[in-house]
Amino acid sequence: MMHLKRKLIKLGIVLFVIVGLGISYTNYAGLDQRSQDQPMVVNIGYLRVPNDEMIAIANDSISEELKDYGVRANFLVFDSGVEANKALASGAIDFASMGITNGIIAMANHLDVELIWVHELLGKNEALVVREGSGINRLDDLKGQKIATTFASTSHYSLAKVLEAQGLSKDVHLLDMKTVEIAAAWQRGDVDAAYTWEPTLSTIVADRGQVLVSSEDLTESGIVTANIMLGRKGFTKQYPEITSAILGAIAKAGDHYRKDPENAAAIVAKALEITPESAKQQMEGTIWLPVETLLSEDYMGKRDQIGNLKTIISEIGQFLVMQREIRKLPDDSEIESFINPSYIEESVRKTGGKK
């Protein structure tokens, strides 16, 4: 009897161990399945400029949206679209904001990315500045001058359009400089003219600079530039809901600015360590498109009918070909595939169009 009892005890221990291992295995299998179904971290590259994304980062709305998916947001600053494109190509980041010129370069170089958002149309926040006392009082006076800008940027494109309209394309000497280099060259007196963006723009204007023409003037004549957001398709296609959630948070940040610009300026001013007055001035220098305008035929359009943004991209692409920044202009079908408004549409559908 005792022998039988010992056998039953041993059998019970064995069954307990087996069941325990089964539970343990199930738990680990569940963790493995979760890691395959969704990421633990989303890597988002952004620009340190006062726009809708900066609000959404500073007030934690992107992070809060992603908490619902058990995902953490990791934000990385990129001062250059060139650097951001390298990070996208390597898979080091999942999203990146940049000027539209570098977005087109990414598309033309066949990076596996898509355009999913337009942050702002550029206006007074990018401009051609000339030094007071330099003798440059109008555009014709630029002949023979050295003009600093950042090649392959929105500023470079805008400057080229200005020079083309004046017939000065071959009569000036362009200097390729990063924004920090432009500020330093201006302070040294090495250049008397520069086409650049904030915050460098305000820095050189404060140092005896005078705005000759801004990107807002060009927008009014149909020459449009913008800051955009790219998504890496390896991420966006696999996690469309997370992508839509991020854009939903950015859209709400834009609505916040339109409803309460003072508060929005205060939020980004703290994050960027600038004054609320400076933040507001820079924000007012750009055009923020509400979702309904962004999804209109004038801009991104709908997934089944891409809007006029494809024409804007084509025109900028022709400039980039001429500058030998890209070898070949992508055709219409490539451009239409590059623009993907479906994540915004899904975001609107989830909120029922409510703001």
How confident is the chain (355 residues) per 10-residue block, as mean pLDDT? 45 40 34 57 96 98 96 94 95 97 97 98 96 95 96 95 95 95 96 94 96 95 95 97 97 98 97 95 95 97 96 96 94 96 93 58
In order of their start, the domains of the chain are 40-122+224-351 (3.40.190.10), 126-220 (3.40.190.10)
* Amino acid 14: pLDDT: 39
Contact at 8 Å (CB) between 226 and 100? yes
Tokens coding 16: 């307990």
* Amino acid 28: pLDDT: 29
Convert the pLDDT of each residue in 101-160 to its tens digit.
999 999 999 999 999 999 999 999 999 999 999 999 999 999 999 999 999 999 999 999
Check residue 142 and report its DSSP letter. Answer: G
End-to-end Cα distance, the chain: 76
* Amino acid 38: pLDDT: 80
Please name the residue ranges forming H helices in 126-260: 154-166, 179-188, 200-206, 215-220, 233-236, 240-259
Q: For residue 34, what is the enclosing H or E element?
A: helix 2-37
* Amino acid 37: pLDDT: 74
Single-letter residue type at 229 = M
| pTM confidence score | 0.86
Convert the pLDDT of each residue in 303-314 to its tens digit.
999 999 999 999
* Amino acid 352: pLDDT: 65
How many CA atoms, within 13 angstroms, populate the side-chain half-sphere of residue 355?
13
Sheet with strand 286-287: strands edge to edge: 72-77, 41-46, 95-99, 226-232, 113-122, 286-287
* Amino acid 353: pLDDT: 54
